[in-house]
Amino acid sequence: MGIATDIILLVVTSFFCGLLMQRLRQPLILGYIMAGVVLGPHTGGLTITDAHDIELLAEIGVGLLLFALGLEFSHKDLKPVKWIALVGTPLQIGLTLALGVGIGRMLGWDVKTSIWFGALISLSSTMVILKTLMNQGWLGTLSSKVMIGMLIVQDLAVVPMLIILPLMNDPAAGMVHLGQAAVKAVLFLFCMFVLGIKLLPWLMRRIAKIGSRELFLLAIIAIGLGIGYATYLIGLSFAFGAFIAGMVLNESDYGHQALSDIIPLRDVFGLLFFASVGMLLDPAFMVKHFGSILLLVLLVSLGKSLIFAAVSWLFRYGNVVPIAVGLGLFQIGEFSFVLARIGVSSGSISHDFYNLVLTTAVLTMVLTPIVSSQTARLYALKKRWFQKELLESINFPDKGFNRHVVIAGGGRVGMQIASALHRLARPFVVIELDQRRIEQAKEAGYAVVYGDASHEIVLEAASMESAALLVVTIPGIVEAQAIIAHAQRLNSRIEVAARLSDPDFFPIFSDLNVTDLVYPELEAGLEMTRQALLALHIPVTEIQRQTEALRQEYFVSGMSQTKPYQTLSQFRSAEQQFDLQWLTIAAGNPLIDRSIGESEIRKKTGVSVVGVLRDNQLEPNPGPQFRFQDQDLVAVIGSDEARTAFQTNFFPAERLVGEMAA
């Protein structure tokens, strides 16, 4: 079966290796790489027949990953990190190039080989770090945005490297090719952001009207891979073109659906990429040159980590960001393999040097998920060593906080909560990493802490020990777990409200004793249910009973009858026993321009007026001085006899409009 057999072997082996890594609580990436080593040409036994075909499919995986990233990554997200991406990345490449030359000269390599080594190690792996960020739930944080921004510029830098490095003996020709590549890149970006923004949404709209999911999926793949291939044909990066296509499509109404459809394909082809990386490893070569490889891994990892951390610090990123970026981007990237192959084919580097760099690159990739996972621990040590380092706190009251609300995440949901608390004059603190959102909160006068809420030191800065309530708006389960666990360590009596992104996470939140959960999809479904039942003229009290019963059934079953939810359920059940009746005061009604006291409503009928809706504004529990007006919607509560008496006395010629929701 040829290539089909190879793919089946890789998928099956990757499954078992991934299962093993899961049992060992290690990243799945390591399992995929292990599968590639097992089936690679250097280990014997069951072997892939055509590794080249797998590598070609792996390139499609890189393109799909970058396309999916573009679908998730709006150009607006680049604004907070544009300076470090556009200026800091060239600086990082230059410093890493110098590091490589220094290592090469120290090991006795000639200048040309040393320059090649510096160029090869200057690039980091987009594929590895994105998969690592996804698995660790860190996508969306400021650290991840800094890394992604720098990786994008690195991918762009591959183009001039591909031109310049093989032509070091003929600089004039290299500059000509570089100029041509720059013109092509500018023209491509112009076409995509000027023409593509209009053309692609129009195309997707026409396809969506057909109503075929298959055609929609094919259209997405064709756009992502087709534009990527177009950039490849004009001499630019295939992955770069796919990423730009995703960004453009993200600005349309079809970005979310496109991302949802493309994720399974992305993951399958991504598996092939990591397996192809493992296939490059030669265990015999590793054993023979173990000392040199270990030295290079240590020097490259430590050197690149320090460079990335220093560049992040230089661009005034504080707290956990320099550490996260340093521990995330220290590996050698997949585009280095492409550069190395060109170096061998052009005679610029030897085969032994190629294998040495290749093995070093793969090992740094393997180490990335493990090293990156130590970010929190290293940050905690840093805070312990440098106690005087202050987090940026804005708009804090002089007397501090007490019995306040801590909002973890200043996105759309978090800012809505903050706005409501602000109007109610309730004290609160917003914790956010996105500088753009920090500025918005600052302008609104909100108290805000710049930092990652999943770190205990940041929660301390928000006075968590004296807070009354923690609201976690961040959807990522890993981050939410860390935030809640740290908060409960600092304040064992803290109430917690959290956002539920997946029903499978119910047990996790149950174990954390979360006070209240909000599942957006459930709330949207219940609201649509209300609207549908209202359209069918079902009484509001019955609608309320049904929707609340559904909510209780959903949450109580999911939360396994935790004490907070038992209490909440009992409260809502009791609430349903109050049967409100709403009546509209029409022209000629004797209540118009009379107060509740003057009308003697309770004395004459036995009902109580508990609310009046006027001009879409609710007046709860109006007092005896409250005067009725034409078109007021009045809510009364009482026995059946009392409500009948109320209607007889004050609505003799009126028809009951019906029960309505206030």
User: Residue 604 pLDDT more than 60?
Assistant: yes
User: Residue 597 pLDDT more than 50?
Assistant: yes
pLDDT at 345 (0 to 100): 67
Compute how many other C-beta atoms are within 10 angstroms of the C-beta atom of residue 218.
13
Query: Rounded to whole angstroms, how far apart are CA atoms 116 and 494?
Result: 56
What average pLDDT does range 148-169 have in this prediction?
Answer: 76
Tens of pLDDT, residue by residue over 108-125, are 998 889 999 999 999 998
pLDDT at 124 (0 to 100): 93
What element of type H or E holds 165? none
Q: Which tokens belong to 280?
A: 């490059």
Q: Which tokens belong to 554?
A: 């959903």
pLDDT at 75 (0 to 100): 61
User: Residue 325 pLDDT more than 80?
Assistant: yes
pLDDT at 109 (0 to 100): 92
pLDDT at 390 (0 to 100): 47
pLDDT at 656 (0 to 100): 42
pLDDT at 555 (0 to 100): 59
Full 3-state SS string of 22-43: HHCCCCHHHHHHHHHHHHCCCC
Residue spans of beta strands (DSSP E) within 147-214: none
Confidence of residue 564 (pLDDT cuts 50, 70, 90): very low
Burial class (CB in 10 A: 0-12, 13-18, 19+), 492: exposed
* Percent of the chain at pLDDT exceeding 70: 84
Q: Return left, alpha or beta for 212; rule: phi > 0 is left, psi -120 to 50 is alpha, else beta.
A: beta
Q: Return left, alpha or beta for 285; rule: phi > 0 is left, psi -120 to 50 is alpha, else beta.
A: alpha
Q: In this structure, are residues 94 and 310 in contact, taking their beta carbons and an 8 Å threshold?
A: no
Tens of pLDDT, residue by residue over 262-307, are 777 777 877 887 788 778 778 888 888 999 999 999 999 999 999 9
pLDDT at 178 (0 to 100): 62
Query: Rounded to whole angstroms, how far apart are CA atoms 511 and 513?
Result: 5
Using alpha carbons, select from 179, 175, 219 the residue that is nearest to residue 201. 219
Burial class (CB in 10 A: 0-12, 13-18, 19+), 518: middle
> Which has more confidence, 270 or 85?
85
Confidence of residue 204 (pLDDT cuts 50, 70, 90): confident
What average pLDDT does range 504-527 have in this prediction?
Answer: 80
Question: What's the count of helices (H) and strands (E) in the chain, helices before strands?
Answer: 31, 11
b/e for 581-604, b at 16 or more Cβ within 10 A? bbbbbeeebebeeeebeebebbee
Confidence of residue 48 (pLDDT cuts 50, 70, 90): confident
pLDDT at 523 (0 to 100): 79
> Which has more confidence, 625 or 126?
625
Tens of pLDDT, residue by residue over 416-473, are 999 999 999 899 999 987 767 887 888 888 999 887 787 777 888 888 999 999 999 9
Using alpha carbons, select from 227, 234, 226, 204 the residue that is nearest to residue 217. 204
User: Residue 140 pLDDT more than 70?
Assistant: no
User: Quick one: CA dihedral 565, 489, 466, 437, positive or negative?
Assistant: negative
Query: Rounded to whole angstroms, how far apart are CA atoms 653 and 586?
Result: 10
**Phi and psi angles of residue 207, each rounded to the nearest 5 degrees, phi first:** -70, -40
User: Residue 658 pLDDT more than 50?
Assistant: no
pLDDT at 174 (0 to 100): 55
Confidence of residue 78 (pLDDT cuts 50, 70, 90): low
Calculate the CA 535 to chain-centre distance: 37
Task: Give me the helices (H) in 444-537, please.
Answer: 456-461, 477-490, 506-511, 520-535
pLDDT at 554 (0 to 100): 66
Please identify which residue in the block is written with the tokens 């610029």: 348
Q: Which tokens belong to 534?
A: 């209202």
User: Residue 337 pLDDT more than 70?
Assistant: yes
User: Residue 171 pLDDT more than 70?
Assistant: no
The count of residues in the chain is 662
To the nearest whole number, what is the mean pLDDT of the chain? 80
Amino acid (1-letter code) at residue 154 = Q
Tens of pLDDT, residue by residue over 216-256, are 888 888 888 888 888 888 777 777 788 788 878 877 777 76
CA–CA distance from 545 to each of 517, 529, 550, 562 (Å)?
Answer: 20, 12, 9, 22
Tell me the Cα Rg of the chain. 31
What average pLDDT does range 610-620 have in this prediction?
Answer: 82
Confidence of residue 383 (pLDDT cuts 50, 70, 90): low
Residue 141, CB half-sphere, CA atoms under 13 Å: how many? 29
Q: Return left, alpha or beta for 661; rule: phi > 0 is left, psi -120 to 50 is alpha, else beta.
A: beta
Confidence of residue 343 (pLDDT cuts 50, 70, 90): confident
- The order of strands in the sheet holding 393-394 is 393-394, 448-450, 428-432, 405-408, 469-472, 495-499, 516-518
Annotate 89-118 with DSSP letters as a single string.
HHHHHHHHHHHHHHHHHHTT--HHHHHHHH
Query: Rounded to whole angstroms, how far apart are CA atoms 299 and 292?
Result: 11
